């Protein structure tokens, strides 16, 4: 059974970079059939797609965040990562990693999510 697990600091200071990693188990991140994405949800609010990456390193980013986002992949560790720079309190959210089929933009497997708070 495919599982995704987010990891990283739960507290980040304003203006710093938020860094999270998603570890995939029960399947290969190098499958040609899937993209791997990040989605966030501010407390009590809705869902926002951040970006997605293919095992080859090809990426798609949400234009609203593109200037601050980098998503990378490490196939040897079956992991992909999110960096979000220059964070503010508005970036406080639960961050989820998720899978979607190649160029099919619905998310069928999700991690449990990790809360990241931006505060000094």
Partner 1 sequence: DIQMTQSPSSLSASVGDGITITCRASQHIGNYLNWYQQKPGKAPKLLIYGASTLQNGVPSRFSGSGSGTDFTLTISSLQPEDFATYYCQQSSSTPPTFGPGTKVDIK
Q: How near is the Cβ of 120 to partner 1 at its closest, in Å?
A: 26
In angstroms, what is the minimal distance from the CB of 96 to partner 1?
6
Q: Phi/psi at 45 (nearest 5 deg)? A: -120, -170
By CB under 8 A, the residues from 28 to 87 that bind partner 1 are 46-49, 60, 62-64
Bridge-based pairing of strands 114-118 and 107-110 is: unpaired
- Which residue from 102, 61, 109 is spatially nearest to 82, judged by alpha carbons? 61
Which window, 14-22, 24-32, 82-90, 107-115, contacts partner 1 (CB under 8 A)?
107-115
**CA distance linking residue 50 with residue 100, whole number of Å:** 13
Per CB under 8 A, residues contacting partner 1 are 46-49, 60, 62-64, 96, 98, 104-108, 110-113
């Amino acid at each position: 059974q495919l599982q995704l697990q987010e990891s990283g600091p739960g507290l980040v200071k304003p203006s710093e970079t938020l860094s999270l990693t998603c570890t995939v188990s029960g399947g290969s991140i190098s499958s040609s059939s899937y993209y791997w994405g990040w989605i966030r949800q501010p407390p009590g609010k809705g869902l926002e797609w951040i970006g997605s990456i293919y095992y080859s390193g090809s990426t798609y980013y949400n234009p609203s965040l593109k200037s601050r986002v980098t998503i990378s992949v490490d196939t040897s560790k079956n992991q992909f990562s999110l960096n979000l720079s220059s964070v503010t309190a508005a970036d406080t959210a639960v961050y989820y990693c998720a899978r979607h089929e190649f160029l099919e933009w619905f998310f069928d497997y999700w991690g449990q999510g990790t809360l990241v708070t931006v505060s000094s």
